[in-house]
Amino acid sequence: MKEQSSQLRHWRIEREPDGVAWLTFDKAGESTNTLSAEAMRELGLALDAFDREPPKGLVIRSGKSAGFIAGADIEEFTQVESAEGAKALVKRGWDLYNRLAAVKYPTLALIRGHCMGGGTELALACRYRVAVDEPGTRIALPEVMLGIVPGWGGMLRLPQVIGPAAALDMMLTGRALNAKRAKQLGFADECVPLRVMENAARMLVLSGQAPRQLPFMQKLMNGPLKGFVASQARKQVAKRARPEHYPAPYAILDIWANHGGNALAVPADKPSSMEAIYSSPTTKNLVRVYYLQERLKGFGKDSDFAPKHLHVIGAGVMGGDIAAWGALRGLTVTLQDQNIERIAPAIHRAAKAFKKKLRDDTQVRFTLDRLIPDPAGHGARQADVVIEAIFENLEAKRKLFAEIEAIARPEAVLASNTSSLKLEDIAVALKNPARLIGIHFFNPVAKMPLVEVVEGAGSDAEAFKKGLAFVRKIDKLALPVKSAPGFLVNAVLAPYMQEAMRCVDEGIAPEVVDEAALAFGMPLGPIELADTVGLDIAVAAGAQLASGITEPPKKLMELVNAGHLGRKTGRGFYTYNQGKPQKGVVGQVPAGLADRLVKPFLAAAQRCVEQGVVADAELADAGVIFGTGFAPFRGGPMNYLKEHP
């Protein structure tokens, strides 16, 4: 029986004869559920109704096919004008969820699809949780990625439910759980298929089953050993993030260990206080990065292009990994190279990656079945998208595309992964040069979220649009760029790395150069980055982007001529042991070194905006952050220039 209430726009109450009440969150006028002030107020009204007439059990579910709850309303958060306003927002959720957790009747969150932030905290305030086993179910507390903390009870309840180690890992990284993993960790009481989710929820909420208890050692870690656990976690966080750059993870540890998970209990003069977090420029810039990411996610959404078959030519590291990623994202992928021996290492590498990612032998087998060795290149005839990823030789690429055009379907996307050759120079080999676009991935493909989709001077608009849609289909962030040397990402990285190597030529130790960049906030120093990319590639990129005007760095050329190409050969600027650089002690970092390093980086980003390589400064910031890892807490290079003119 549906309970009518003119007071509720976003929630529906239905009561069944067996005493189970269903509270459905279906935010009016939106495709996604977010916890706005109005939605939270109405949740309080719904709890009032249940206080007046308590059910035998309450199931909270979503009325959206898109997911459970996406979290708090970010738009409202950005409009908060003071620390007092931020504290009021936190208090609203903290008090309401504590009220939900304290009700006498059993409560259950039925989680299907994304369950983020405040949605996860709502689920934690329920006695039981059922997760629906389908690919879209993802459960996370990603607040740290916005520079804030899970203040509506996540820091209190998640460690109590799954134990401190797993809880801190989720809260400090923003890492998501799928339904099966949620059940394994104890977050979900049940992991069930879609077809039985409502029956499973009904049975569990009426079962009288005692909530799961933590093992004895986990209880100790959540009690007397809290300080020790927090101290160890802090050491791990320090390896990835400095407190002056990213205060939120350190605040989470302090609030959990010393303030009972209650962000409101922290004194205002402490670095982990709401006042300090709200006033941190990191928070403002990370929220900006969130919106930049949302903008990139929008590219390709307006196309009905739904590719099912990808054909990749070139089974080297890049081509093989593009093919593997496509198979992982559900496409049928044919991988072509000169013979099966050249393809075999890519298949072997993919199998290892799938096993690590999927942790399910059946799924690994299904995914591998979609990755088909194709030395004869038959797949090019049926493919929706063909990506060329062979060596950087203009004549070889021209010959290949002429052959592909003759057999590919007329509506198929033809794309090159080139990073150093002009699309227009390759396209002259085609009868219809407008078909060619660039789809430029970055190494390592599985980790780098950005893909540049390149529009040549004569590229067909529909082909370009399809390229954007393809990148979105495989869950990457598509950045539209014009054809120009280095596009955006390599155009900003090359002068930065060249400047770093000139510093080494002047006698500054590689370790000191890298430390200056790390102190600025880069995820990896430029010297180690050059070693990781490959010094031979650094030479080629430098020559391409410098147009022969400047001499390449001396030490770089010495290493390349000696065959020391970086991590892949075990030696470059650093010597590598099991893939890890062996670095000496970092001495004093000269004043101004970081500014010297980033100056050409910033100038190149500005130049790309002025020359129209990207449409605007926001896209330059988005591309550089997600393509190079440029210090997200600084909001991007163009934002940094604006704040540091």
Q: How far apart are CA 537 and CA 557, in angstroms?
A: 12
* Catalytic hit among 419, 459, 483, 639: 419
Residue 352: strand, helix, or coil? helix
Look up tokens 């070693």; give the residue.
531
> Which residues, 6 or more positions from 220, have their beta carbon under 8 angstroms from its beta carbon?
none
Tokens linked to 419: 């990073």
Alpha-carbon distance values, 632 to 143, 175, 241, 318, 613 (Å)? 15, 17, 11, 26, 21
**Can the peptide bond before residue 444 be classed as cis, meaning omega within 30 degrees of 0?**
yes
> Which residues, 6 or more positions from 85, have their beta carbon under 8 angstroms from its beta carbon?
none
What are the phi and psi torsion angles at 431 (to 5°)? -65, -35
Active site residue 416: no
Active site residue 452: yes
Tokens linked to 507: 């006698």
Q: Is the CB of residue 133 less than 8 Å from the CB of residue 191?
A: yes
Active site residue 440: yes
* Catalytic hit among 440, 483, 515, 528: 440
Buried b (16+ CB within 10 A) or exposed e, 437-453: bbbbbbeebeebebbbb
What single DSSP character describes residue 195? G
Q: Could you tell me the strand order of the sheet in which 138-140 lies?
A: 67-69, 114-116, 138-140
What single DSSP character describes residue 181? H
Q: How far apart are CA 520 and CA 526, in angstroms?
A: 12
Q: 14: alpha, beta or left, given left = phi > 0 and alpha = psi -120 to 50? A: beta
Q: How far apart are CA 196 and CA 208, in angstroms?
A: 20
Tokens linked to 188: 């979900």
Helices (H), 359-410: 361-369, 394-407
* Catalytic hit among 490, 499, 515, 618: 490
Active site residue 419: yes
Q: Is the CB of residue 454 less than 8 Å from the CB of residue 425?
A: no
Using alpha carbons, select from 161, 69, 170 the residue that is nearest to residue 112: 69
How deeply is 644 buried, as exposed, middle or buried, from its count of CB atoms within 10 A (0-12, 13-18, 19+)?
A: exposed
Q: Is the CB of residue 322 less than 8 Å from the CB of residue 315?
A: no
Q: Is the CB of residue 59 less than 8 Å from the CB of residue 23?
A: yes
* Catalytic hit among 121, 388, 452, 528: 452
Q: How far apart are CA 393 and CA 504, in angstroms?
A: 31
How deeply is 578 buried, as exposed, middle or buried, from its count of CB atoms within 10 A (0-12, 13-18, 19+)?
A: exposed
Buried b (16+ CB within 10 A) or exposed e, 550-566: eebbebbeebbeeebbb
CB atoms within 10 A of CB 124: 25
Look up tokens 């996610």; give the residue.
297
> Which residues, 6 or more positions from 171, have their beta carbon under 8 angstroms from its beta carbon?
141, 143, 144, 150, 154, 155, 158, 249, 252
Point out which residues pair with 453 in neighbouring strands.
439, 480
Point out which residues pair with 576 in neighbouring strands.
581
Angle in degrees, CA 520, 526, 527, rounded to 5: 130
Cα 302 to chain center, whole Å? 22
Tokens linked to 497: 């790395």
Which residues are catalytic, by number?
419, 440, 452, 490
